[in-house]
Chain A
Amino acid sequence: MKNIQGHNLTIGYEDTVIIDDVSIEFPVNKITILIGANGCGKSTMLRSFARLLKPMDGDIELNGRSISSLSNKQISRELAILPQNPVVSGSITVRELVEMGRFPYQNWRNKLDEKDKKMIEKALKDTNMLEFSDRTLDSLSGGQRQRVWIAMVLAQDTDIILLDEPTTYLDVTYQIDILDLVYKLNKEEGKTIVMVLHDLNLSCRYADHIIALKDKKVYKQGTPNDVVTKEVVKHIFDMDCEIIKDPLYKTPMFVPYSRAI
């Protein structure tokens, strides 16, 4: 039960259409990364799949049922999303935030049971945040804070995880750190992961499947080798480049031409 797909989606805000009549299916148990130029609607589309933004037209299907027929709570037991750059009070402790990931499983008494506690411990351990669990968020670095958010998402115990630019504003060390964590989750627990990333080369390294968006449509999708070619990059980023092999991982690597040098 890890299936999420959209049929004939038209997405936008008020009278601006950002995604126009797109059908899409994310491969199960794989890491899918959405790429495209700024403002092409990557995040908007991801938000729609996470029901944070209602599509203007079309339907999203989660594990075989239309998302609009499911209760918010039901969705959050099957699909988790980390929105882009969430801002909360720095006085919250790591454990308190991760505990909120168990919200979909709690009744009106709001008490954590054994299973809840187990999932919270596991999420903290998987993200290496166990030793920080009593620290407040404002005492953590940006990379550690992002780990806490991922721990919260993990505590939700869903098979599908959406991440909206999880590495933005982070130093390169932390970017690798977060992406490694995501990679591990996918490989060890088989979670279906969909993310938006800005860095093309890191996308190629970590993705099983890449979806390139352009002009309100899916321009091309497939494995990194299929998608990240000179022609595609030229088209979606309007930029000339060479594609070489990443010397370490043999994934495609893009080297842009400069227009001045």
Chain B
Amino acid sequence: MSKKVLLGGMVALLILSLIHINQGSVEVSISTIIDSIFNYNNSVEHNVIRDLRFPRLVIGIIAGGALGISGALFQSLMKNPMASASTLGINAGSYFFVILFSVFFPGFDRIPFFPALLGALGTAFVVMVLGKDSSNPVKMTLAGVALSLVFSSMTSALQLLFENETKGLFLWGAGSLVQNSWRGISFSFPIVLICFLISIFIARKIDILELGDDVASSLGLNVNLYRYLGIIIGVLATSAIISVVGPIGFIGIVAPHIVKRLGIKKNSEILATSFLVGSIVLVGADVLSRMFTGGSYELPVGAFTAIIGAPWLIYLAFKTSKNIGKSSYGLLIQTGKKRLPFISLVIILTIVIIATFILSLGNGGFDFFNSDTAEFVIAKIRLPRILTALLAGIVLAISGFLLQTVLNNTLADPSILGVTPGAALGALFAIYFLPKTTSLTISLSAFAGAIIASIIIFSISRKSKYNSTMLVLVGMAVTAICDAGLNIIIINTTVGKSASLVWLAGSTYGSNWNNVITLVLGIVILGPISWLICKDLDAIMLGEDVATAIGSDVLKVRVIASVIGIFLASIAVSAVGTVGFIGLLSPHMARFITGIKHRKNLVVTALIGGLLLLIADFIGRIVIYPSEIPSGLVVSIMGAPYFLWLLHSTSKIKR
């Protein structure tokens, strides 16, 4: 079986390679290709083949293979069929560290292997620690997704603040096989080769490990040694590849799955064929992406693998969601030892919000109180802006709050579900492709994007009765597709890059009264409905079975609450761009201090969310005046440490 697969794979790879080499602005015949190897004559054609086309092909083969084996290793060693460098956040972590490195060492001309490795190892470690005690692969994956969110928001912070130092890395950051020498290959090939050999060497041990830790150790295997060795090998191979071609998603998920579908079971064979299949998929994707564009614009292969890999992920979700979603499980939240009295808490929060509001209104980078224009500036610019921050914070917080209970997961958030990325794609579409860009068209387009993304997510997961696993996975897939779209747009345009980055980073800059009106409408209409439905959310929090048993119509409530949550998220995103974390963190803080009742939590969550974005807006305006830090980034920077602590603490919530 395995021999046939290998042989067939080789042939496929060879054919793809020939097509691959022939792609480009200059036509070359096969004889020229052969001549360029054996009869090199320093002609332009030969040089193009030797220095551009061969390196691109070879790095494609190496990268695809390395991602394939690392995916296979992660999946079996973490006991998680959805594990891969992209789903676990390793890609995003690695990318962030490379960007960070290039900001501090702008002139550094080497391959950024060590920062990539540092980021990858760190992320893998965190995800492993978080997912260690849980046998639920979705939880680990969700931690990975959330971690990616943290990293990518910090990455866009750096890209925005250090535009010059990082602008050369956009194409790389989207994952591109473009090479102009053999340098990347001679660097990555030895590392990948060594990783490959070691992984084949320990494949027998992995077979035993897959029987379960207890069985494996009673069979005399040093479980931890081989598990960590295998994962480190996977991380090493991945970082070597990332440092050369950038983060390329989905190969690590797709390749091992194709291999397993072919009926291959032994890990030595899985690893070898995963390498081959990974190469085929990546080279094939590169061929297809260039065919698709006809060379007219650059379609980074990383974006293309996302577009073809995301449906695969959805298919996978379909297959796994049946086994995972346990209807007896409720929402596992954590509250503090002491809960504060509700009324006094609300009063305190309101006072703090009013104080911050006044402070923020009166202070800017420039003290307007002494000038004649003061009234004008405050009424026309600052007031709507600050109000937008407050209201958008409230809206985002409520949205996250509803979605968390509905999806039975305290790590859920509109940005994880794919709603926010959909909105972002919509907004960028408006910025670049609509003839006249006003804030209204951007908002409308963002809103449309969010709605389309939600419709896709919900219609696909309808069959599984909106099973939370399914929603998360489909959200992940939709996010990947939207990100690919964003990357394609940003790479292929030169005008307005900075404006779209500001929007993507989430900004209250330039908010006007229209934003305020939309947000107020959203809160006035959907707020009371949310409050009413909170009664049923108290029941749903006890798990689907118990909620049904005590008389709550779980499916109906879930649909209503999700629709409200998504609607609110879209409103907020169309007003302030992609602000993450508020929807994730405010509900958690509120639950921690007020306890489990949803109605009380709703109020406190909304206040905390509003306060957070208000503060973020204020800080963003004054710290580096006259420049500004987008409030979304301030939130991310404030929220990241809290979020890591949250991930850590949710991994050991007692039930």
Task: Write the residues of chain A forming the contact surface with B, with a CB cutoff of 8 angstroms.
Answer: 50-52, 72-77, 80-92, 96-97, 100-101, 103-104, 106, 108, 110, 137-138, 152, 156
Contact = CB atoms under 8 A, between A and B. Distances in A.
A81 to B, nearest CB: 5
A82 B328 CA distance: 10
Contacts of B546: 83, 86, 88, 100
Interface in B550-575: 550-553
A87 B329 contact: yes
Given A83-B546, A90-B655, A91-B334, 17 more contacts: A72-B552, A73-B551, A74-B551, A75-B551, A81-B545, A81-B549, A83-B549, A86-B546, A87-B326, A87-B332, A88-B543, A91-B335, A96-B595, A108-B535, A110-B538, A110-B599, A152-B550
Contact of A51 (B327, B334, B535, B548): B548
A87 B326 CA distance: 10
A50 B549 CA distance: 7
B328 A86 contact: yes
19 contacts: A52-B327, A72-B551, A75-B551, A85-B328, A87-B329, A87-B332, A87-B543, A89-B333, A89-B541, A89-B596, A90-B654, A91-B333, A97-B542, A100-B538, A103-B552, A104-B550, A106-B535, A110-B535, A137-B655
Contact of A83 (B328, B334, B551): B328
B411 to A, nearest CB: 14
Which of B328, B541, B550, B653: most chain A Cβ within 10 A?
B550
A101 B654 CA distance: 22
A103 B330 contact: no
B545 A101 contact: no
Q: SS class of chain A's interface: helix, strand, loop or mixed?
A: mixed
Given A90-B653, A91-B596, A100 B549 contact: no
Contacts, number: 99
Interface residues of B, number: 32
Nearest to A149: B546
Contacts of B653: 89-90
Given A100-B538, A108-B535, A87 B550 contact: no
Contacts of B330: 86-89
B331 interface: yes
A174 B518 CA distance: 57
B551 A52 contact: no
Contacts of A108: 532, 535
A100 B550 contact: yes
A16 to B, nearest CB: 12
B548 A100 contact: no
Nearest to B534: A110
Nearest to A88: B330
Contacts of B328: 83-87
A156 B532 contact: no
A85 B543 CA distance: 11
Contacts of B332: 87-90
B539 interface: yes
A67 B599 CA distance: 31
Contact of B550 (A74, A101, A137): A101
A97 B595 CA distance: 12
B330 to A, nearest CB: 4
Contacts of B335: 89, 91
A-B interface, 3 closest residue pairs, ranked by CB to CB distance from nearest: A76-B551, A88-B330, A104-B551
Interface string B437-460: 000000000000000000000000
Interface in B319-373: 326-335
Interface in B296-312: none
A86 B551 contact: no
Nearest to B544: A52
B561 to A, nearest CB: 15
Contacts of A77: 551
Interface in B499-544: 532, 535, 538-539, 541-543
A89 B548 contact: no
Which of B543, B545, B653: most chain A Cβ within 10 A?
B545
A138 B548 CA distance: 23
Nearest to A14: B322
B545 A52 contact: yes
B654 A100 contact: no
Nearest to A82: B549
Interface string B642-655: 00000000000111
Contacts of B548: 51-52, 72
B343 to A, nearest CB: 16
Given A86-B543, A89-B541, A103-B539, A138 B654 contact: yes
B551 A103 contact: yes
Contact of A80 (B549, B552, B553): B549
A72 B329 contact: no
Nearest to B536: A103
Interface in B262-299: none
A100 B551 contact: no
Contact of B596 (A72, A83, A92, A103): A92
A75 B599 CA distance: 25
A228 to B, nearest CB: 30
Contacts of B329: 87
Contacts of A110: 535, 538, 599
B636 to A, nearest CB: 27
Nearest to A96: B596
A54 B590 CA distance: 37
B591 to A, nearest CB: 8
Which of A84, A87, A104: most chain B Cβ within 10 A?
A87
Contacts of A75: 551
Interface string B241-259: 0000000000000000000
A89 B591 CA distance: 12
Contacts of A88: 330-332, 541-543, 546, 655
Contacts of B595: 91, 96
A91 B539 CA distance: 15
Contacts of B549: 50, 52, 76, 80-83
A89 B550 contact: no
A76 B545 contact: no
B342 to A, nearest CB: 14
A194 B595 CA distance: 34
Contacts of B596: 89, 91-92, 96
B412 to A, nearest CB: 15
A156 B550 CA distance: 8
A162 to B, nearest CB: 9
Which of A50, A73, A84, A89: most chain B Cβ within 10 A?
A89
Contact of A89 (B551, B552, B655): B655
A105 B469 CA distance: 32
Contacts of A106: 535
B555 to A, nearest CB: 10
